[in-house]
Copies of this chain bind each other. A is one copy, B any other.
Amino acid sequence: MSSESDDDPVFKALAHRRRREILDLLKEGPRTTGMLCETFADMDRCTVMQHLKVLEEADLVMAKKEGRERWNHLNSLPIKHIYDRWISAYAGHALSIIDRLKSDLEGQ
């Protein structure tokens, strides 16, 4: 039922600042594509849509079409997933890292 971790598209999607900004906005609530283009007026409309597509393929954004508008919803589950399966293992590690580096790197 499970398989190779398929969180690559999520990490890839998060790698671009603009896409994280889109997610930050969608966290406040759904937005239409047009609203997003208005907010990010310095980006071409096509660029916004391309970023949306990347986010959608990573399952971070889910779209609901309503008439001629398209409402983009945030789905934060993939982020929670990579946290649970990957990032959390590093949070604990970080606690001891300063002491360890002090002895490893300076205690020469």
**Which residues of A line the B interface, CB within 8 A?**
8, 11-12, 14-15, 17, 20, 23, 27, 30, 62, 64, 73-77, 79-80, 83, 86-87, 89-91, 93-94, 97-98, 100-101, 104-105
Are A79 and B87 within 8 A (Cβ)? yes
The answer to whether A94 and B79 touch across the interface, beta carbons within 8 angstroms, is yes
Q: How far is the CA of A90 from the CA of B73 in the complex (A)?
A: 13
Contact of A90 among B76, B90, B93 (CB under 8 A): B76
Chain B residues with CB under 8 Å of A83's CB are: 83, 87, 91
Contacts of A8 in B (CB 8 A): 17
Taking CB atoms, residues of chain B closer than 8 Å to A17 are 8, 11
Cα A104 to Cα B104 in complex, Å, equals 53
| Pairs A-B, 10 closest by C-beta atoms | A15-B15, A80-B94, A76-B90, A76-B94, A79-B90, A76-B93, A11-B15, A12-B15, A77-B94, A80-B91
Which residue of chain B has its CB nearest to the CB of A30? B104
Query: Which of B20, B89, B105 contacts A27 (CB under 8 A)?
Result: B89
